Amino acid sequence: MAGTCDTKGAELAYVHKIIAEQGIAAALVDVSTQPHRFHADIEAAEVARHHAGGAQAVFTGDRGRSVTAMAVALERFILSRDDVGGLLGLGGSGGSALVAPAMRALPIGTPKLLVSTVASGNVAPYVGPSDIAMMYSVTDLVGLNRISRIVLANAANAMVGMVRAPAPSLAADRPAIGLTMFGVTTPCVNQLVAGLQGDYDCLVFHATGTGGQSMEKLADSDLLAGVIDVTTTEVCDLLMGGVFPCTEDRFGAIARSRLPYVGSCGALDMANFGARDTVPPQYRGRNLYVHNPQVTLMRTTPEENERIGLWIAERLNLCDGPVRFLLPEGGVSLLDAPGQAFHDPEADEALFSALERTVRQTDRRRLIRVPHGVNSPDFVAVVLEQFRDVMKVD
């Protein structure tokens, strides 16, 4: 359990008592940044010492800086433990922001429950690519009342249930692999799943920013045996200001884990925006395609594709595991196929050439031009061949 005992001591003690009465060992971790007299199993000073700059980097006297630093310290503290069966946190907006990074750092599957005053709004900044469960507190967390007692008791019992009756083992009869997909690469991925599901548990992630992060979270958690990253379109949105961006750490988990990896240029012909009237002014004269009333696609130019290729290549160069990155010369999406709205061989060639100039190719890291479109059965056959090849590499 984690929370600020200076302001949430009564609530934390109440939840701790309910959990302890059911025979579950629970340690209350204080992450307060102000002095107080409430006793916790693990005091704030102990947590603060886990900050790279020591406790003095946390207890600065400036509330904003102290809370930010304590969040870093708590994450490092949690990762230093090997006995975390679950993590339950309580807080308002500040307390939720303090505890959530530690929850996101835990592996997928470890129970994580955050009771928060902000759980009925946009929770993406708190949950990110993790499996955090958030419960709205209904009333503010200022002492115990007839509502907060019920909500907090439900939270305590939910955590007890998750810890006492864990989900079945993640180990299955087939190793798990991650695949990325977008609407315009769906035919490719559907064919890949059909060709691989007899040997692998295929986990498909929608490439909407969080989808790519979720896949890489599983890679960092050692829950994937390999990755088929057909759809790298989130890079377009990061660089062009679209609504489905990846983070600067895209491909980072592949580099850290050294997982067998086959990637491609899927949907690098487009950046995503909302409804047409939300497209930024500087882009309104561009080649736009209304995918649906809520999504408008913008065709990337040769200059933008060169920038995208350089960005991806620099990150592929950090990957020392077996890597194959495929360049579909027949089109990188359904819309980039001959005769379609985004067909632009010049823009595609700018992308491919930037990758070829920049990627340092080795026996383990290769670029492969494929004379087919990304959704064609012939391209899928090459992906399957290359994936089976990288899965054999030591």
Task: Decide which of 128 and 40 is more confident.
Answer: 40
Same fold, 2-164 and 176-390: yes
Checking if the pLDDT of 242 tops 90, the result is yes
Q: Which of 52-66, 157-171, 233-247, 310-324 has the lowest mean pLDDT?
A: 157-171
- For β-strands 261-266 and 201-206, DSSP reports them as unpaired
64 vs 89: which has the higher pLDDT: 89
Q: Is residue 224 scored above 90 in pLDDT?
A: yes
Of residues 92 and 180, more confidently modeled? 180
pLDDT at residue 173 greater than cutoff 60:
yes
pLDDT at 382: 98
- Give the mean model confidence (pLDDT) for residues 162-179: 82
The 10s digit of each residue's pLDDT in 72-87 is: 999 999 999 999 999 9
Give the mean pLDDT of the chain.
Answer: 93
Span 110-164, pLDDT tens digits: 999 999 998 988 888 889 888 999 999 988 888 888 899 999 999 999 999 999 9
Residue 169 in this model has a pLDDT that exceeds 70: no
pTM, rounded to two decimals: 0.74
Position 351 confidence tier, pLDDT thresholds 50, 70, 90: very high
Q: Would you state the CATH architecture of domain 176-390? A: 3-Layer(aba) Sandwich (3.40)
What pLDDT score was predicted for residue 338?
94
**Domain definitions of the chain by residue range:** 2-164, 176-390
The answer to whether the CB of 112 falls within 8 A of the CB of 133 is: yes
pLDDT in tens, 246-279: 999 999 999 999 999 999 999 999 999 999 999 9
Query: Percent of the chain scored above 70 by pLDDT?
Result: 99
pLDDT tens, position by position, 370-383 = 999 999 999 999 99
CATH class of 2-164: alpha beta
Residue 170, pLDDT score: 54
